[in-house]
């Protein structure tokens, strides 16, 4: 029997990243991200999408607040060299939408922010995930030539101006991709200026 979701009450949460959720008198130990764990207040009701991970010697439940998180987790663990612990660490560091942006823009630096992921591992993951994640039109333009370079140039320019990775990623997500680097940079600065105002 595979468990796909749980609805019940939180009995307790532990510092090891697990929560004990009681459903119809049965307590389930569920591994979650720190962000999710913070939301699971003891004695409060909870609903989690669950990935039921079965191996020969053990069964583990991984819980998520959204369907996107569960789907991203399943995509990650289907990737060579990514186990459940690393997949959870990646989703603890980056949201599903941020992960798509990171892969679409080949952002090695952002992936190395994940504990346990070095530069070589990040580069390999980017290559493998490009074939697995549903990427926005940004990646489609990479194959037509020049798009990836344009985005990288704008990203580097903004970093040189002192903007953070998160600010840059948010601004690039809002921009039309059918523009040259100068126009994209000008629009990004306008957006970033409005957000900081």
pLDDT of 138: 38
* pTM of the model as a whole: 0.66
* Partners of residue 49 on adjacent β-strands: 5, 64
Q: Phi and psi (nearest 5°) for 30? A: -125, 130
pLDDT of 178: 60
Q: For each of the chain's 197 residues, which pLDDT tens digit applies?
A: 788 999 999 999 998 999 999 999 999 999 999 889 999 999 999 999 999 998 888 899 999 999 989 988 998 998 888 899 999 999 988 888 888 888 878 888 888 888 888 888 888 888 888 777 655 433 333 434 444 566 777 777 777 777 787 777 777 777 766 666 677 777 878 787 766 65
- Helix 147-160, helix 165-173: angle, nearest 10: 140
């Amino acid at each position: 029997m595979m468990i796909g979701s749980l609805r019940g009450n939180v009995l307790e949460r532990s510092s090891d990243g697990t929560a004990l959720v009681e459903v119809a008198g049965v307590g389930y130990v569920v591994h979650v991200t720190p962000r999710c764990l913070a939301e699971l207040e003891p004695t409060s009701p909870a609903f989690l999408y669950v990935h039921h991970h079965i191996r020969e010697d053990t069964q583990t439940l991984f819980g998520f607040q959204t369907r996107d998180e569960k789907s991203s987790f399943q995509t990650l663990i289907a990737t060579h060299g990514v186990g459940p612990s690393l997949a959870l660490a990646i989703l603890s560091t980056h949201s599903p939408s941020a992960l798509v942006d990171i892969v679409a823009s080949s952002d090695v630096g952002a992936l190395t922010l994940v504990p346990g992921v070095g530069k070589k591992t990040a580069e390999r993951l980017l290559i493998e995930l490009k074939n697995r994640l549903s990427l926005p039109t940004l990646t489609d333009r990479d194959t037509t030539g020049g798009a990836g370079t344009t985005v990288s140039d704008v990203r580097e320019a903004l970093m040189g101006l002192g903007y953070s990775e998160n600010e840059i990623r948010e601004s690039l997500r809002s921009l039309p991709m059918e523009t040259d680097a100068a126009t994209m940079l000008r629009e990004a600065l306008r957006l970033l200026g409005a957000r900081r105002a």
